A and B are shown apart, each in its own frame.
Chain A
């Protein structure tokens, strides 16, 4: 079955430190990959997407992610986090020619401490 695994349920980090949130997906077909952010009591906001082309994609708020086909990974990174980055981050995948539904990972709670 198709699945997305976010390896860390919680990531505590100090302000201005770098962070990496890990995401792996199961697939042998073409995929589109996304990261969404959910701030407390809010909906899901698109952070960045990989559709095709360069494997390094940049998103909003200084985040970037790298698509690695051989490792079926799409890890999210930020070189220096802010308190305001504290939120839940979801990795999601959709499969080419399979209707468009998003399959989400369990989410990673990023907690940025001063």
Chain B
């Protein structure tokens, strides 16, 4: 069964450093998303991406964040200068159609020290 994959599973970085989180969505899906979950809190939407551009972004997704689909399979989230409060689990998701069910990857746990 096709699935969304994410790498790395765990990333530790120092405050101020850049990180890139990688995702491989399900191959025939066209809509891609990033969410984050701070420990003990609910899952929050960050950004949606379709047709090589951002469809929607939340207020969390400020200028420090960017997304890219560098090739036909990868979908990346970059945080330019990490802050302590960026520590969270980051989930990638994809769907075949907008507003329909999304399939999530296993997540990347980002720890900023």
A-side residues, CB < 8 A to B, are: 32, 34, 36, 42-46, 49, 51, 90, 92, 94-107
Contact = CB atoms under 8 A, between A and B. Distances in A.
A24 B72 CA distance: 38
Interface of chain B, main secondary structure: strand
Given A101-B45, A104-B42, 20 more contacts: A32-B100, A43-B91, A43-B106, A44-B91, A44-B93, A46-B103, A98-B99, A99-B56, A100-B33, A100-B95, A100-B99, A100-B102, A101-B33, A102-B45, A102-B93, A102-B102, A103-B45, A104-B43, A105-B42, A107-B42
A37 to B, nearest CB: 11
Interface string B76-107: 00000000000000010101001111111111
For chain B, give the interface size range.
Answer: 20 to 34
Interface in B16-75: 31, 33, 35, 41-45, 48, 55-56, 58
21 contacts: A32-B99, A34-B101, A43-B106, A44-B43, A44-B104, A46-B102, A49-B100, A94-B99, A94-B100, A99-B56, A99-B99, A100-B31, A100-B33, A100-B48, A100-B95, A100-B98, A100-B102, A101-B56, A101-B58, A102-B43, A102-B45
Nearest to A30: B99
B99 A36 contact: no
A102 B33 CA distance: 9
Given A99-B48, A100-B95, A106 B100 contact: no
B55 A99 contact: yes
Contacts of B45: 101-103
B20 to A, nearest CB: 19
Nearest to B3: A43
Contacts of B33: 100-102
Contacts of B31: 100
Q: Which of B42, B56, B91 has the most CB of A within 10 A?
A: B42
B100 A51 contact: yes
A36 B104 contact: yes
Contacts of B44: 104
A100 to B, nearest CB: 4
